Structure 1
Amino acid sequence: FYSGDFIAALILGGVLAVLSLKLIYRTSQELTDIISPELVKKVRQIISNTEDVIEVGAILMRRSGDTIFADVTISLRGDTSFDKAHEISNRVENNIKKEISNSEITIHFEPTWENVPLDAKIFDIAKNIPGVKGVHNVSTHKSKGKTFSNLHVMVDREINLYSAHKISEIVEEKIQESIPEIEHVTIHLEPFLAVPESFNVEDKATERKISEILNKYPEIKNIGRIVSLNFENILKIDIDCSFDRNLSIEKVHDLTSEIEHLIRSEIQNAVITIHPEPV
């Protein structure tokens, strides 16, 4: 009996010792602001499962009273807009708070270009070059194992050709410096036109002249809205017209380009937008 009591006492003492150590561990964590690795791992998993988060960086967590503070860093696609990044950050914060209601979250987001299409990278590089007013029609293609890029860059319409060319050179250098796989960059320079919210009165005489030009094209089945508006020394022209729905998009593009060229030859300082529609 005595040996049985002794063994039972040892077991009970061991259990009490383990429980005491666990209690000491938990209490020390609370007193020293330490967060358990399991909780950090849980937060990392929550963030990883949030849509549009590419990568989870540093997670710093501490406890203050009943509140858990977390400072996290996430990586988003480099071409993500600020509004979209803010939306993703809110989503991450809400997802964490669903699981840890007593948490206060601070989120930092960083861009990453991993797995981002080349066109998006090139667009982001070009639009941030001083002097560039706009970028569009970015495309890349491969030929014989080499990668080539084409893009349209808009610059101030008042600057001279030398200054515009200098801007295009900087754009090309930055693209090739940031993306070494790009063998050659072709840049199409265009004048930038800041269109105001309000224009002067419509020019009916100009609209009649445009109608006469459009009527020369049998491919145009219907002429819709024609709006010509003046501001400064620029004439902004918007045209709606309908084409045979069976025409190829290439044919329609060629026709609209030809019409735009013809209108510009007749009307100086015209900025033309043609909206083709199928009929």
Structure 2
Amino acid sequence: MFLHKTKVLQISLFAILSAFVVELVFGLVSNSLALITDSIHALLDSVVTVILLLAARMSIKPPDAEHTYGHGKIESLGGLIGGIAIFLIAIFFIYESVERATSPPPLILPGFFALIAGFYTIGVDVFRIILLRKSIKKIGGVTLKADFYHAFLDFGSTMVAIIGIIFVTYGFYYGDFIAAFILGIVLVVLSLKLIYRTAMELTDIISPDLVSQVKNIAINTDGVLNTKSVLMRRSGDTLFGDITISLRGDVSFDRAHEISSNVEKNIKKNIANSTITVHFEPNWEQVPLDSKINEIAGSISGVKNIHNVSTYKSQGKIFASLHVMVDREINLESAHKISEEIELKIQKNFPEIEHVTVHIEPHITIPNNLQMEGKKAEDEITKILEQYKEIQKIGRIIILHYNDIQKIDIDCSFDRNLSIEKVHDLTSQIEQKIRTRFSEAVITIHPEPI
């Protein structure tokens, strides 16, 4: 892409230089101020194209310690310099046209040679317009767009010059000066627009419509509640964006990262050459009270796990309860301090809660590598299960152990018509029965219908 872009600019440069030479020579021979003016304009365009070519070469350099966003701003700086140069020369053109309009008519009037030079320049301008337009569609780039605009403006200015020459050929002597004056005015206006546009690019101006588009893409991404801020800037062909999105406060970190990645992908899919950084912040407004309590309890030091969080109302008051798991090695006093800290923090954040009940449980850490228990333990559990007539089939019994901890997983089948409440009561009874034999066991019973 880089070689192709610079190659296009080089071809454009050689083409406009040839137009400068032809217009200058034929303008001097035919004594056409408009043609000489347009030749100087062509020379200035050559200078601008050289600046754009150098800017393209320099802006493609990768980011470094001093330019963490890359070197894309060099293109804007080159355009600013070119715009100022065109403005100054345009003022000179206007001055010269007024000066010559008030002077005696020249002895030699522009004619056939001037028209030849003008039509040659039009051919060059058309060639550049087609070349640059195709390249912009294929690879894009600020430098190519800037040179395309210059080529298009060259075409228009040359047409003005030719019209002036035709007027002079038919005896309207002042037509040449009028054409030069109009050309100067056009160049002043266009150069001021170029100066303004490039200066704004250097101040990181960005289209409000583009910001709005990015916001809509982010908000329409699944899981995003809102966009808090969208900061964007352009450096050369690359658009940089820093976006802050709001997610539900109870979303896991993995899910939050997934949502952020989806936002980034969606923006890049819709906006070419964009580099997006997405930040996410929790939003608790739409999160259920149970989830908020779970998050607060989990932030207390010493809490290993939380489950069975519930809230309920009675006589217009809110009550909360939760089960909290702590290190099985700590004493009751330490566990109670953790419980009190949880209660105080919950009521501080939610004064509407009348009372918080914390049920403390020992937390058992199950290591990844466990040893299989012997056949004797499996037989003991089988005998316990056989005591329950509701169990119609005993499936797998897996018993693993680590030091004094057992991990027991049981599959068993019940009548498919039993209510889930009844099945839960039975499995709870079975767990308690097994714990009379294996007091430090972590038991999981999987019920299946039959």
- Scaled by the length of structure 2, the TM-score of the pair is 0.56
Contact in 2 for aligned 1:71/1:107 (Cα 8 Å): yes
| Corresponding residue for residue 94 of structure 1 | 265
Q: Which amino acid aligns with 1:166?
A: K
Q: 2:228 aligns with which of 57, 66, 72?
A: 57
Match of 2:408 in 1: 237
Q: Distance in 2 between matches of 1:56 and 1:21?
A: 36
Q: 1:193 aligns with which of 364, 368, 375?
A: 364
Aligned to 2:305, the other structure's residue is in SS state strand
- Distance in 2 between residues matched to 1:116 and 1:75, nearest whole Å: 12
| 1:252 and 2:423 aligned | yes
Residue 212 of structure 1 pairs with residue 383 of structure 2: yes
Quick check: 1:145 aligned with 2:316?
Answer: yes
Query: 2:347 is matched with which residue: 176, 180, 186?
Result: 176
Q: How big is the shift at 1:85?
A: 1.3
1:47 alignment partner in structure 2: 218
Aligned residue in 1 for 2:432: 261
- Name 1:202's counterpart in structure 2: 373
Letter in 2 for 1:92: V
Quote the offset at 1:167 in angstroms.
Answer: 0.8
Q: Which residue of 1 aligns with 2:307?
A: 136
1:49 alignment partner AA: N
Residue 293 of structure 2 aligns with which residue? 122
Q: Take 1:173 and 1:18, find their aligned partners in 2: how far apart are those partners?
A: 70
The letter for the 1-side match of 2:258 is E
In the alignment, the residues of structure 2 paired with residue 214 and residue 251 of structure 1 have an alpha-carbon distance, to the nearest angstrom, of: 16
Q: How far has the Cα of 1:266 moved from its partner?
A: 3.0
Distance 1:37 1:70 in 2: 13
Taking only the aligned residue pairs, the percentage that are identical comes to 65
Equivalent pairs counted in the alignment come to 267
Match of 1:113 among 275, 278, 284: 284
So what's the TM-score if we normalise by structure 1? 0.87
Please report how far the alpha carbon of residue 228 of structure 1 lies from its aligned counterpart in structure 2 after TM superposition.
2.0
Structure 1 residue runs without a partner (length 5+): 1-11
1:244 positional shift:
1.1
Can you list the C-alpha shifts for 1:226-270, whole angstroms capped at 9, x where unaligned?
Answer: 122221112222211111111111111111111221222233333
Structure ID, larger Rg: 2
Are residues 185 and 133 of structure 1, via their aligned partners in 2, closer, same or farther at CA, if it must alter by over 3 Å? same
Q: Retained in 2: the 8 A contact 1:242–1:276?
A: yes
CA distance in 2, matches of 1:25, 1:36: 15
Instruction: Judging by fraction of residues, say which structure has more strand.
Output: 1
Which secondary structure state, in structure 1, belongs to the residue aligned with residue 201 of structure 2?
Answer: helix
Whether 1:36 aligns to 2:207 is yes
How far apart are the structure 1 equivalents of 2:444 and 2:253? 29
Question: Which piece of structure 1 moves more, 175-184 or 118-127?
Answer: 175-184
Offset at 1:166?
1.0
- Structure-2 residue corresponding to 1:26: 197
Residue by residue, what CA displacement relative to the aligned partner does 1:74-93 show, whole Å, maximum 9, x if unpaired?
Answer: 11111112221111111111
Gaps of 5+ in 2: 1-181
Residue-by-residue CA offset, 1:8-36 (whole Å, 9 max, x unaligned) = xxxx9xx9798777655433322322112
Is this contact kept in 2: 1:203–1:229, CA < 8 A? no
Q: Specify the code of the residue in structure 1 equivalent to 2:428.
A: S
Alpha-carbon spacing, 1:160–1:48, altered in 2? closer, same or farther (3 Å): same
Q: Which stretch of structure 1 is more off in the superposition, 196-205 or 151-160? A: 196-205
1:264–1:36 Cα change, 3 Å: same
Structure with the higher helix share, 1 or 2: 2
